């Protein structure tokens, strides 16, 4: 009889196991959304950094050639010399190729810009991949938001 009591005292009851599972579920419900938000923040930060680096490359291109690449030439003009009559091209201005945004989409480049009339528009469609939504990451300031 003593061995039966010893085994019974060392075992977990179903209630104790359920209680532990409930506690773990509550902790997961609190912690997982915080990590999810952090990864989205990291993607946004990486995309903003890419845009800043592309702006530096575009400004270097403009200093050397006297103009920004046209919309048709696009960001590829930072890597390969355009076939148009460009003088003083000293590229490539980007070493590792044109990056994609953190969601795997191409950056949108437009010169002359719709929002930067004396410059260019450079932006990412953000996580939803759609233009004109609140998650777009852009190189202009929008005072209407």
Q: Express each pLDDT in 14-40 by its tens digit.
A: 888 888 888 888 888 877 777 766 788
Q: What angle do CA 93, 96, 97 make, to 5 degrees?
A: 75
> Model confidence over 84-97: pLDDT tens digits?
778 889 989 998 88
3-state secondary structure (DSSP) of residue 137: strand
In the predicted model, what is the mean pLDDT of the chain? 86
Given pLDDT bands bounded at 50, 70 and 90, which one contains residue 141? confident
**Tokens standing for residue 68:** 């920004």
pLDDT of 22: 87
Is 60 exceeded by the pLDDT of residue 2? no
pLDDT of 122: 97
**Tokens standing for residue 114:** 């719709």
Q: What is the DSSP letter of 100?
A: B
0.95 exceeded by the pTM? no
- CB neighbours (10 Å) of residue 42? 11
> Model confidence over 66-112: pLDDT tens digits?
999 999 999 999 999 888 778 889 989 998 889 999 999 999 999 99
Report domain 15-138's class: alpha beta
Q: Which residues pair with 137 in a beta bridge?
A: 124
Q: What is the DSSP letter of 112?
A: S
pLDDT of 118: 86
Q: Which residues contact 128 (CB under 8 A, 6 or more apart)?
A: 135
Q: Shortest CA distance to 67 belongs to which of 48, 84, 50?
A: 84
């Amino acid at each position: 009889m003593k061995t039966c009591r010893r085994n019974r005292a060392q075992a977990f009851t179903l209630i104790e196991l359920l209680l532990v599972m409930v506690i773990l579920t509550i902790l997961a419900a609190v912690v997982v959304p915080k990590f999810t938000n952090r990864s989205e923040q990291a993607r946004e930060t990486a995309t903003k950094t890419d845009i800043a680096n592309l702006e530096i490359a575009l400004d270097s291109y403009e200093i050397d050639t006297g103009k920004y690449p046209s919309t048709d030439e696009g960001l590829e003009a930072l890597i390969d010399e355009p076939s148009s009559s460009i003088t003083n091209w000293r590229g490539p201005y980007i070493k590792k190729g044109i990056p994609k945004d953190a969601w795997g989409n191409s950056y949108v480049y437009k010169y002359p810009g719709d929002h930067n009339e004396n410059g260019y528009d450079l932006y990412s469609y953000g996580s939803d991949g759609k233009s004109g939504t609140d998650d777009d990451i852009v190189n202009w300031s929008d005072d209407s938001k």
